[in-house]
Amino acid sequence: MTTTGPIVTMPDGLPGFEQCRRFIVVTSETLQPFTCLQSLDEPRPSFLALDPRQIVPDYAASLGDGDRARLEASDGDALLWLAFVCVDSEQATVNLRAPVTINARTMRGIQVIPSDSTYSTNHPLPLD
């Protein structure tokens, strides 16, 4: 497995894992199209994720001014969007409503949780 870029800092952590603030994005050819967001902080949770456009090609998410400021994002910055995957015994789903967004220039990340999103937190993941 390989990692993409340096450490991603998430100043607020993730809901339920607020103490985890440093992550790496793990990629691998055998893992494609998935990636893994791995915490470097205890308890070292790991999250299976993918680009939401893999599921919904016209996926459109936007950042408000406050979120852009938290990411230290300029208009020209490349942003990586990752939607968390949940797999249980009956199905796999993707949380399209609350993606993690990473500014590739600053390596700052946040989980964007818009209140007015039309996307589901448990969108079925086709297992083709």
Two tokens at 33? 């199209």
Domain ranges within the chain, ordered by starting residue = 2-124
Is residue 33 within 8 A of residue 48, CB to CB? The reply is: no
CB-based burial label for 49 (10 Å; 0-12, 13-18, 19+): buried
Q: What is the CA radius of gyration of the chain?
A: 14
- Collect the ranges in the chain with pLDDT lower than 70: 1-5, 128
Query: Superfamily for 2-124?
Result: BH3618-like (2.30.290.10)
pLDDT of residue 107: 95
pLDDT of residue 128: 60
